[in-house]
Each structure stands twice: as C-alpha cells, then as structure tokens.
Amino acid sequence: MNHQALYRKYRPKTFDDVVEQQHVVTTLKNTVISGKPAHAYLFCGTRGTGKTTMAKILARAVNCLNPKDGNPCNVCDICTGILNGTILDVIEMDAASNNSVDNVRDIIDEMVYTPSQAAYKVYIIDEVHMLSSGAFNALLKTLEEPPSHVLFILATTEPHKLPATVLSRCQRFDFHRISTNGIMERLLLIAKEAGVTLTGEAAHFLASLAEGALRDGISLLDQCISTGRNPLDLKCVYDVLGIARSELVLAAADCLIGRDEKKAVQTIERLYSEGKDLAQFLQSIIRLFRDILVYKTSGSLDNILSAGEKEKEQIPRLAKELSMTEALSIIKELSDLEAGMKWSSNPRILTEMTFLRVCTRELGREDDSLSDRIRLLEDRIRHLEDNIKIKTENYRHEIYKQEQGEEKKADDFPAAEPFKEGSFAEWDSVLNELRSAGKMTLFTSLAGTDAVWIDKNTIGIVIPEEEAFRKRVIEKAENLEAIENAVESSRGQRLNVRIIPAKKNDKNENNADIPDTVLDFVKKNGIKLDIVDE
Amino acid sequence: MGLNKIIGQKALVSQLKKILSEGRLGHAYAFSGPEGIGKHTVALEFAHEILCPFGKPDSCGCVSCRTFAEGTNPDFYEVITDKSSIGIDTIRALQEHVANRPAYGHKKVYFIDGADMMTVQAQNCLLKTLEEPPEYAVIILSAVNYEALLPTIRSRTVNFRMEPYSEDEIRRIVMPLAPKNKNELDFYVKFSRGIPGKAVRMLEESSFRDLRDQIIGLLKKPGDFSQMEKVRKILNENKDDFTEIIDIIMSVYRDCLMVLMGIENGLINSDKKDIIKEIASACSKRKLMDRLAALENMQRNFRYNINYQLGIDVLLLEIQEV
C-alpha cells in the first residue's frame, strides 16, 4: 500500500521529461555536457513549475557516471543511489524549517569535506526565501567561492525576498508558468498511465484551473481519480470540485447582463439549496466574463478558459449584449466580492448585495457606476441647455423680424444683426457659450467686459488697461480661438477678435492711445484696425 | 466508530472509503468548510481508519484502535493550539515527530486542525514535509478558509470541501428538536446556512430565540434613538454573541431588500414577514444596501480587534444615519 500522490510518482526524472521550461532545460543540459557547472544556481518561479524537480535532475546529471546528452541515466550506481537516498552527497535542505544562522553554519562546516561517492556535493536549498537575514549573510562568502566540489541550488517562489548580494552570486533561472496545453498533455499522459480515461474537455478544464502550476493540476486530477470514477468527464470534475453546472453560471451571467435583479437573487437561492460552493461559483462566473471580454476584443474563441461546450456556444451571444465597460465593471465588482468573501461570515448576503449592485445602476457605489451616473446627469443638463439656447435664439429671431419687417437680409445668418458701429450685441451669449463649454478661466476673465465692432469682420474686446492679467489670459492663441468659435456659434458668422485696451470708465471709447482723428478715419472707411500689443 | 458513523456528506465519505479500499492513500489531505460542518469529526474518523492495520475500525479491538479511542495512540499526532495562531515552533515539533517510525501500524497521521491559523512562517516551514513526508506519514489539514492558506501549501494537498448540507437534510436533522411553528423552523434551517451544528445549537439555546425577538423588535424603529440605545445595550451584554447578533440584523435587512424587490419566497426570517414588511416600507433599497455594507464592514473590523465599544457606536450611528 505504497501509493504515492501522483505529483510525486510522476515527477520527471530527466531533463527531456520536464514539461516546457525549454530555456532552462537547454542551458542546463549544455552545462552538463560541457562538464563545467557553475557553483550556484537560483531557480525561481511560481509553485508547480518544476523548480525542485529541475534541481533534483541537475543534482543527478552532474554526478551521473554516463550522462546521455546531458540527461542523467538514472541507472548507474550514483543515480540510483541519489534516487533512493543512499548517497549522502546530495543534500536537500528545507530552508523554511532550517532557517537560522546555525543551520547555515552546519552546512559551511561539513562542506569542506570532499564528497564520498559522487563527483559533486550538491546542496539543494528549497524555499530559500525563508532564510533569516543573518543566515543569508552567513552564506554569502561560501556562496561566492565554495570549494570546487560543491554545488548550490537554491529554489524559491519568492526571489524578491532574497538580498541582492545573494542574487548577484547565483546563476538565476526564472521558471515560467506552464501553458494550459502543456499541463493538459501532461495530465492526459498521467491519467493514461494511471489507467484512467480522461476526456480532453475535462483535461482542458483541470489545466485551466491549475493556472500554470502543474502540481495544482495533478493534485486536482488525483482528487478526481480518487472518486474511482472512470472515465473522468467534465461533469465528474465539476461534481468533485463542487463547481456549479454551466447552466447555473450562464443563468447568473444572463441575469447580470440583463440587469434582472429578481432572477439573480433566485439563482443564488438555487445554488444554495443545491449546496454549491459560492467561491467556486464566483470563480467560474468571473472566468466566464473574462472570456466574454477576450472574445469581444479578439473575436475568436481561441483563448477561452471556460471549458464547457455550452459556454462556448453562449459567449458570442453574451458578448453582443454587453459593452466593454460594463463587462469590466462587472468583473471588478465580482473580483472585489471574491476577495471580500474570504473574510465574510455572510458570503451569501454579500453575494446577493453585489449582484443587486450590478443589476441596479442606481445602487452602485463603485467609480464606474458613479461616472455612469455623472454622465447621465451631464447629458440631461446639456439637453436642457440646448433647449434654452434654441428658445432664446428663436426669441431673438422674432425681435429681429419685427424690427426688419419681412425684409430678408442678404447676410448668411438670419438671426445675425447687421454690422453697425458700437457695441457687439451678442457678447452676452458668447460668454454663456464659453461658460457652458467649460472654459471657466476664460469666462471669468471676460466677465464684465464689452465688445465693440471694429469693422465688418472684426470685433474688439474692451479690456481696461490696468487689468493686464486678464489681457494675458485672453490673448493666448487657444483662448482667442475659443472666443472666435463661440462668436461663430452664437452669431453664425466667423469674426476676427481683437483686444482693445481701454481706460476705466471709458469702455465705449475704443482706445485712448489712438488719436480721435485716426479713429474717425478708421470708422468711416471701415479699415481693419489691427492693434498690436507689446 | 469509523467513517460509517458520519451522518450526511455521503459523497465525501464514499470517496474517502474508496481511497482506503483501493490503497490510493496519498500523503496530504485537507478538509475545508464552514465552522461546525464536521471537519474535525470527519478528519478524526478518517485518521482512525488509516491507522487501523486491519482496516475495519467499526468492530476492531486492536491496540491501535483501542488506544485511538482513548486518545493515546502514539501514531496519531494532533496539533492543538490554544492561541489564535499556529506558530513555527509547533510545526517544528511536528516535524521532529515525523522522523520517528510508527509504533503500531504502518502509518502515522498528523492532523493540523485550523490549519488556516498557521502563520506564514509556519506554513513555509511545513512545505517540504507536506510535499515529501516519509512514506508512513499522512498529513491532514482542516481549514475554515482554505483559500487563506499559501498557494504553495494548497498545491501540495488534496482538498475535500465539506459542502453545506442541503436545506432538506438540515430539516431532517433538526426535526426532533424543532418548534411546532413551521415558519420558525424555516428560519432556523435558512439561518444555519447548511451547517447542522449551528442549527442544533440555536434550537437548543432558548436564549437565541429571545435575543432574536428582541432585536427584530428594536429594528422596527431605526430612527428612534432610544431604541438604538437598547440595541447597543444588547450588544454590550452579549459581546460573545456579537457575530450572531450582527448576522441577525443583516438577515433582517437582507429580507427587507428582498421584500422591496418583490421576492417574498426566499426570506430568511419568513416567520416574521409582517415585521419585515413594516421595516421595509420605511426604507429605500439604497439605505438598506448601505446598512448591510456597514454591518459587513464592522464584522470584518472586529476580526482585526478594533475597540469594541467604539466600533458599536460607529456602527449604530451609521445604521441610523445612512
């Protein structure tokens, strides 16, 4: 009854056996072939990507009597000795439980002795991130210049916790997460050797649950196999892991997308009465929305995580009904919920609340829905303003008609008053236009000013001479442009805008610097008065 | 004794039995599920079956089984802690023990109850042992919050989630204790969230019913400050039942929300429908949501040991205001 967990039983024994991680495998194999291994290696990467496995293989490969193409032969005395633990030259140390300076000193003390049988004494220090800082520092000198017969292999999931002085002394190899396909193939292989039929669909789903960690995948497979069911299909995997059926997940997604609060709550009720795990359910629904998002952007079902055929059928339809921002905000709400649920004693009520929030816009608290609500308000205000503007314009048009009788002006805009000397009548509406366009700085700078006609195509803004600051704001190119635009939209005619300095209480008089005679002349002949300020 | 004595959890029990009968026993298992679902019980029975060299602990009289029943079996090692966390020293002690071969049978079982209370250091310390213990050792973890364990721990264990009992199962379990009023029974079934231990305890302790009636009565007039003062008094007097009280309040507001949405079937407090409707009529959805959020928030805060008195004051003010 020496059953071993699958991930131990099927731990790769040669480099070629390792799933993916080609960048590491090639380098290490070449090192072994060349016969010149470095004295310290650091393997890092997430769990289940093969760090310890690789370390064990390397320990055998460098010591193997007749390596084949860089791989350990696993049949020679040394290899078998290391495999069954009778050779003491490969020391696998658990740094997490032996993390003190004393433990490191022990290593240093015994390291000086040459290996008993193998060529190299290999120290595999696993979970090395847990060493105390004192222990790290005690190791430094040794790690830099160990005796020629010593090889260190450090392995960790958290390389950022190692001091820089350790990192710089090691050859570092970063292990990548394993692709879903890689995990899937391995699972199928293991299942086959364990005498269980695993359907492709189920394998793909297990692989996607593993999230790049092969050991997670194999542990899950182990759990499924232990139910004794054969063949293992998707439904069986769902049952074992307590994952809600696709129909329920899809139904819930439909409620969230269709903003049907009543049905959403009833779906949760159903989940509960069936004794399903809410956390698992959430994960599947988040996965579904993620898939919808992926489908929306890529337009293909290639990178989909949800395994079921039902999901694959439904995703295109759901994607059509959902906007990108909505999908994102739903995913955000749900992942917040997932995080919050860990600590909640009331996961059900929490879930119900979140579903309600997603379904009912007005109840949302998150930024997205807030901006949604603001946009709604803004739209309404703009609409209101437009109505007012149309009304005033109509009103002005009426007055104009009354003044002019039925006589039609040849000018392009019926509402526009003809050019006449004196003040520019639409100035107030220009200012309003600027304000509603959000140009508040400009608006405040212009408030209280007047504008006068200079000639048929030009108006001048009268700014008191003392207020140079206002002038500076207004005369910026973009601001003049904005004013011109505002004039155009309220008068329907493009006019040039100039700034005219004026003395206090002398608003109607264009410019005191310019002699009256000149001004008279200008007015009479309709010459464009271009005042350049310095 | 043995796995046969476990009520419910049929799928799990048959799975465990299958593991044993087919000789597929691995080296690391975890049982996870809410408090009171029976993790401890199942783990102990599982351990019992593993340890018995003859494989039938129901009727066995071997040394292993006898000593196990007495709680003195040296091959069974249970990590018991009275502190709020399991530290690295506890795990080191366990590791030392792992090195010794079993005394009676061919297996040793290590059981860490409340494994999610292990500190990060302790979990890291356990990693290597958990991955490759000696062939005679089986490590069993139990955790309320399986996700709170390090991913590196989780990837090394086979996790069995103990699913909440369905409402029918709970109903069957508590039927003998049940009050005559069918609606009230419904409340206990729903409020227990599929955890039989909880349902039974609530039914046995009459104080729970009084507490609930009292609170629901007070919630009728949330605007009235003197009422809130009384809620505070209750909270102060029943500090130990804090979670339960908050749960009751939350269930009431949640029901109000449901009523406002026009769903009247799935109410938790179905026996108090009239009162729920009364409260609901005075609130808006938004108000209720905010209150629920405040309650949820406070429950989390209390886990971080905030000042109890201050926390309650803030909570009540928020409920009143929002």
B21-54: pLDDT as tens digits: 888 888 999 998 887 888 888 898 899 888 888 7
pLDDT value of residue A411 = 47
CATH 1.10.8.60, domain A180-241, yes or no? yes
CA of B140 vs chain A CAs: smallest distance (Å): 14
User: What distance in Å separates the CA atoms of residue B40 and residue A162, rounded to the nearest whole number?
Assistant: 38
Which residues in chain A have their CB less than 8 angstroms from residue B19's CB?
A: 226
Mark which residues 87-116 of A lie under 8 Å from B by CB. Answer: 92, 94, 96-97, 99
* CATH topology (fold) of A246-365: Zinc Finger, Delta Prime; domain 3 (1.20.272)
Contact status, residue A314 vs residue B182, Cβ threshold 8 Å: no
pLDDT on residue A200: 87
* Residue-range domain boundaries for chain A: 6-174, 180-241, 246-365, 427-525
Closest residue on chain B to A353 (Cα): B289
Contact B129 A94 (CB under 8 A): yes
Distance CA A352, CA A367 (A): 20
Find out if CATH 3.30.300.180 is the number for domain A427-525. yes
Structurally, at CATH architecture level, domain A6-174 sits in: 3-Layer(aba) Sandwich (3.40)
Domains of chain B, CATH where assigned? 3-161 (3.40.50.300), 205-321 (1.20.272.10)
Q: pTM to 2 decimals? A: 0.66
DSSP label at residue B176: G
B163 touches chain A (CB under 8 A): yes
Contact A94 B299 (CB under 8 A): no
Q: Among candidates B151, B70, B141, which has minimal Cα distance to B111?
A: B141
Q: Which residues of chain B have pLDDT under 70?
A: 1-2, 57-59, 178-181, 221-225, 321-322
Confirm whether the ipTM is greater than 0.85: no
A residues 150-209 lying closer than 8 A (beta carbon) to B: 157
Q: Report the gap between the CA of A77 and the closest CA in chain B (Å).
A: 23
Chain A residues touching residue B158 (CB < 8 angstroms): 5, 219, 222-223, 226
Fold matches, A6-174 and A246-365: no
Q: Give the per-residue pLDDT at A512.
A: 53
Q: Does A473 touch chain B (CB under 8 A)?
A: no
Long-range contacts, stretch A467-472, CB < 8 angstroms, 24+ apart? A469/A445, A470/A445, A470/A446, A471/A499, A471/A501, A471/A533
**Residue pLDDT tens, chain A, 534 long:** 467 788 888 999 999 999 889 999 999 999 999 988 999 999 999 999 999 999 999 999 999 998 888 899 999 999 999 998 888 899 998 888 888 899 999 999 998 999 998 999 999 999 999 999 999 999 999 999 999 999 999 999 999 999 999 999 999 999 999 998 899 999 999 999 888 888 888 898 888 888 889 999 998 898 888 877 778 888 888 888 777 777 888 888 888 888 888 888 888 888 877 767 787 888 888 888 888 888 888 887 777 776 667 778 888 888 888 888 888 888 888 988 888 887 777 788 888 888 888 887 655 555 556 777 787 888 888 888 888 887 777 777 777 777 776 555 444 444 444 455 677 777 888 888 888 877 777 888 787 777 887 777 788 888 777 777 777 778 777 788 888 888 887 777 777 887 877 755 444 444 556 666 666 776 777 666 666 554
Q: Which residues of chain A are within 8 Å of residue B18 when distances are taken between CB atoms?
A: 226-228
Residue A409 phi/psi, 5-degree rounding, is -90, 145
**Which of B12, B124, B144, B245 to mutate to probe the A interface, most A CBs <10 Å?**
B124
Q: How many CB atoms lie within 10 A of CB A69?
A: 10
User: Which pLDDT score is estimated for B249?
Assistant: 86
Which residue in A has a C-alpha nearest to residue B164's C-alpha?
A275
CB contact under 8 Å between A346 and B125, yes or no, is: no
Quote the CA–CA distance of B268 and B273 in Å, as a whole number.
9
Between positions 280 and 309 of A, the ones with CB within 8 A of B are: 280
Q: Are B225 and B320 in contact (CB under 8 A)?
A: yes
pLDDT at B57: 64
Q: Which of residues 313-342 of A touch B (CB under 8 A)?
A: 340, 342
Give B269 to chain A, closest Cα distance, Å.
Answer: 13
Which residues of chain A does B152 touch, with a Cβ-Cβ cutoff of 8 Å?
47, 157
Q: Do A3 and B299 touch (CB under 8 A)?
A: no
Which pLDDT belongs to residue A257?
Answer: 86
Beta pairing partners, A154:
A42, A125
A130 to B125: CB separation less than 8 angstroms, yes or no: yes
Restricting to B residues 211-240, those with a Cβ less than 8 Å away from any Cβ of A are none
> Per the CB < 8 Å rule, is B194 touching A242?
no
Residues written for chain A:
534
End-to-end CA distance of chain B: 54
Binding-face residues of B in 253-292 toward A, CB within 8 A = 254, 257-258, 261-263, 266, 285-286, 289, 292
Instruction: Give Dmax over CA atoms of chain A in angstroms.
Output: 118
User: How confident is the model at residue B224, as a pLDDT?
Assistant: 61
